Amino acid sequence: MSEAELAELQLVGKPMPTDRLRGWLVAGFLALLGGVVRLQNLGFPTDKGAPVFDEKHYVPQAWEMLRNGGYEDNPAYELTVHPPFGKELTAVGEWLFGYNAWGWRISAAVAGTLMILLVVRIARRLTRSTLLGGIAGVLLICDGLSHVQSRMGMLDIFLAFFVLLAFGCLLIDRDQVRLRLAATVREGWTDESRFGPRLGFRWWRFAAGVSLGLACGSKWSGVFFIAAFGLMTVVWDATARRSAGVASPWKGAFVRDVLPALWGLLLIPLLVYLATWWGWFASETGVDRHLANQANHHGWYDFVPTALRSLWQYSGNVLDFHEHLVTPAKDQHPWESKPWTWPMGLRPMLYYYDGGTITCGEDRCVSATMLVGTPALWWLSLPMLGWGLWRMIGRLDWRYAAVVVAYLAGLLPWFTNLDRQMYFFYATPMAAFLVLGLVLVLGQILGGAHEGYERRGTGLLVVALYVGAVVANFVWLWPILNGDSITEGHWQAELWLPSWR
């Protein structure tokens, strides 16, 4: 094999599976199955027809945006503490179905269902296996946190969806970049510059930027993923140039790729984020729409358009609210949790509880909806993370590196202000990357097609038993994920840890 052929092989790696149609059929079937699971009895629970838990904030705000034509004026109280796009999506459901539980939850359910489709396709691309892609879809369907958040009129599932979409776009961009470099290797002009060739316009990275802008337009924590994904894609570019035989791959990535990456993964998200405020910009009575015109809001930056200054200052007020959203030591929120508890789901959240007005055939009955990650998945978070870090650092496995970076982008930033109120639903974007990390491990357990029959059979048995355990665990948790009426004894049996109570 020539040096050019070897470089091309190192660049492209293992090809995608040839069962393209079957890959899409598997993804579509699992998304359909997941949609049925997510939509089942979507209108329950409610608080006597009203939203439950934090739905009480976002559901009426979405309805207000629908009434006003895209913005909130919030005349009663100023608690508009998140960007508008997630609420705009909720408003679409309310426009379609009205101001009821189906209306304010259907958009979240659709986003949660589409995440199943995405995770199947992403896992297939990461592992080059349709089987492992399908397993990823089954695991995400059976994740309790993803299930419940897909059935709530809240914002976190939209953030998780757009982050996962951006991740998938960047994976395709990585493959496309390597194919372009492989073409230059075949044609013999890779080394015309010590920095390597220019790679042309990268539409998939552009799409990732749009997705990240929409993620930030749903919740500001999307900015953590912008930083993580931006660094990740530049490292991918540098390693691709090195595999192609570029003389100075890291300098080449800096010269050729950093500026386009800043454009695609910083400027584009910013422009898309600003576009999500279209209704607010077009309004006259939106919350703090003319804040910059007040006497105490002037300074050297007065050359900036008034609307942008008002948004900046309004955002500063919102940031101040978030930074000082703390609970007194003697009056902690009963379901507050800190980020070190999230990987194993040690402190779930009780969204709904009725212990007196429902029946189950016994004297004492309970109907409860609890946000809890399926233990068969979440209790393996730390082993997955440890193995992923070893593969990332010790074996330079880019697949594990991508998943670990994305997972930690959803976790580590929350350690910077431990005094603020935090809750387990903040971990919603982490769920899909937990699944992807576990699927990579399952792929190693399963072994490749070149493995012996006995080795492959044993691996398949282990994988099948694990997936079966996850499904069984999800079925066991089903009553408390969906508010089913159960006996008091059954309710107590569902609470596996003292911290769940």
* Three-state helix/strand/coil letters over 88-154: HHHHHHHHHHCCCHHHHHHHHHHHHHHHHHHHHHHHHHHHCCHHHHHHHHHHHHCCHHHHHHCCCCC
Question: Averaged over 88-117, what is the pLDDT?
Answer: 97
- pLDDT of residue 8 exceeding 80: no
With both helix axes pointing from N to C terminus, report the angle between 130-141 and 453-482 in degrees, rounded to the nearest 10: 20
Instruction: Say yes or no to pLDDT of 469 above 90.
Output: yes
Q: What integer is the mean pLDDT of 10-27?
A: 89
Q: Which has more confidence, 406 or 11?
A: 406
On the question of pLDDT at 76 being above 60, the answer is no
**Contact yes or no for 214/159 (Cβ under 8 A):** no
- Average pLDDT value for residue range 116-141: 97
266-306 pLDDT, tens digit each = 999 999 999 999 999 999 988 888 888 875 666 677 778 89
Torsion (CA) 241, 169, 400, 346 in degrees, nearest 10: 150
Helix axes 453-482, 428-446, angle to 10 degrees: 160
CB 61 within 8 A of CB 163: no
Banded model confidence at residue 358, pLDDT cuts 50, 70, 90: confident
Average pLDDT over residues 20-31: 97
443: pLDDT confidence band, cut at 50, 70 and 90? very high
Query: Could you tell me the pLDDT band of residue 240, with boundaries at 50, 70 and 90?
Result: very high
Strands (E), 273-359: 349-354
- What pLDDT, on the 0 to 100 scale, is given for residue 72? 86
Helix (H) or strand (E) holding 486: strand 485-487
DSSP secondary structure letters along 188-254: T-GGGSTT-------HHHHHHHHHHHHHHHH-TTHHHHHHHHHHHHHHHHHHHHHHTT-SSHHHHII
3 state DSSP class of 384: helix
The per-residue pLDDT for range 63-74, each reduced to its tens digit, is 999 999 888 886
Banded pLDDT at 377 (limits 50, 70, 90): very high
Residue 78 pLDDT grade (very low, low, confident, very high; cuts 50, 70, 90): low
Q: Which of 474, 350, 443, 345 is nearest to 34 (CA)?
A: 474
Neighbours of 103 (CB within 10 A): 23
pLDDT bucket at 448, cuts 50 / 70 / 90: confident
Selected residue with higher pLDDT from 213 and 301: 213
**Whether residue 81 has pLDDT greater than 90:** no
User: pLDDT at position 488, please?
Assistant: 92
Query: How many angstroms from the chain centroid is the CA of residue 224?
Result: 11
Rounded Cα distance, 153 and 188, in Å: 55
| Cβ 421 vs Cβ 327: under 8 Å | yes
The predicted model gives 254-264 an average pLDDT of 92
Q: Give the per-residue pLDDT at 300.
A: 72
- Tell me the average pLDDT across 52-75: 89
Spatial separation of the C-alpha atoms in residues 36 and 33, rounded to whole Å: 5
Grade residue 419 by pLDDT with cuts at 50, 70 and 90: confident
Amino acid at 139: L
Neighbouring CB atoms inside 10 A of 394's CB total 8
Average pLDDT, the chain: 92
pLDDT at 297: 62
**pLDDT of the residue at 501:** 87
More confident position, 357 or 254: 254
Residue with tokens 């079957």: 22
Residue 15 banded pLDDT, cuts 50, 70, 90: confident
Entry field: residues in the chain: 501
**pLDDT grade for 452, boundaries at 50, 70 and 90:** confident
Residue 1: is its pLDDT beyond 60? no
Quick check: 368 and 356 in contact, CB under 8 A? no
Tens of pLDDT, residues 170-180: 999 999 999 99
Per DSSP, 15 falls in state: P
Q: Report the pLDDT value the prediction gives residue 287, as an integer from 0 to 100.
A: 87
The residues that bridge with 50 in the sheet, in sequence order, are: 47
Identify the pLDDT of residue 7.
Answer: 61
CA distance 27 to 33: 10
